[in-house]
Amino acid sequence: MERIFQRPKSMYQVSTHYCPGCGHGIVHRLVAEAIDELSILERAVGVAPVGCSVLLYNYLNCDMYEAAHGRAPAIATGCKRVNPELVVFTYQGDGDLASIGTAEIIHTAARGEKITTIFINNAIYGMTGGQMAPTTLIGQKTTTSPFGRASEETGYPLRVSEILATLDGAAYIARVAVNNPKNVMQAKRAIKKAFETQMLGLGFSLVEVLSQCPTPWKMSPQQAIKWVEEEMIPHYPLGEFKSPQDGGSSN
Ligand SMILES: Cc1ncc(C[n+]2csc(CCOP(=O)(O)OP(=O)(O)O)c2C)c(N)n1
Ligand code: SF4
């Protein structure tokens, strides 16, 4: 019998440590499928973050670095500059990328480094117990905003993709979600396009993924999927914010 669905060869045959309903596992698989389909396993290098996906190197079967909090784009920059033939990517949460690593990601994009970033926006610090992140929505309850995030005290959520798309060094910037099969397929296309942008030498590429985080959201996996649709997507619209064919960097 022909086998039509199987584990990507870029993924180890292990079970993950993620909570039931977590989006990280789906995104890991999409990254692995993209690596398989582009036949780049031998030259792909990932940089793992600090946060729930810190153990990414246990799941992806390519060469991996582990970066200190927020510093993954700096490590990826060095790796790519000394070995331009490699396909180098970072995988970062919103606490990692949009808080402690804000400077790294902005300057990496502005410099037009030919790397790819997979940015997981789950609107909270997952690993450390559900504190407020820069992406936490107004009114969202977290352990550090127990009455709901109030703009008077903590300002407004960062729209990272929109900010980065203004930078000349950014070639491909897209926001996707993994809350239903249609969006998962769109997310896969965006991740593949981001790698292709790098392989063509067109500049920096980033895919922001709106991702379910049921445990600190205090929701069931089903409620979390609905919350992404009803609360996150209206604030963080999906789509391509910059693409090489509409004027992305060509440096
Ligand atoms: C400099 C520094 N500050 C804080 C921490 C603690 N810390 C580890 S993971 C984490 C939250 C990560 O959240 P996020 O990046 O959103 O990833 P998630 O766990 O939600 O996937 C924090 C604050 C740290 N390790 N280093
Ligand atoms: S805390 Fe959130 S991001 Fe971390 S494993 Fe659980 S669901 Fe996933």
* Segment 73-108, tens digit of pLDDT: 999 999 999 999 999 999 999 999 999 999 999 999
**CATH code linked to domain 24-246:** 3.40.50.970
Is-contact 77 108, C-beta < 8 A? yes
Largest CA distance in the chain: 62
**Element (H or E) spanning 59, and its range?**
none
Nearest to 194 by CA among 116, 99, 104, 124: 116
Q: Which atom of ligand 2 is least distant from the CA of 17?
A: 5
pLDDT band at 5 (very low <50, low <70, confident <90, very high): confident
Average confidence (pLDDT) over 40-58: 97
Predicted TM-score (pTM) of this structure: 0.96
Ligand nearest to the CA of 120: 1
Q: What distance in angstroms lies between residue 121's CA and the mean position of ligand 2's atoms?
A: 11
Q: What is the mean pLDDT of the chain?
A: 96
Q: How far apart are CA 107 and CA 92, in angstroms?
A: 16
Taking only the tens place, the pLDDT of each residue in 186-213 is 999 999 999 999 999 999 999 999 999 9
Q: Which residues line ligand 2 (CB under 6 A)?
A: 18-19, 22, 24, 52, 122, 126-127, 213-216
Taking alpha carbons only, the member of 164, 163, 172, 159 closest to residue 247 is 172
Q: Give the domain ranges of the chain.
A: 24-246
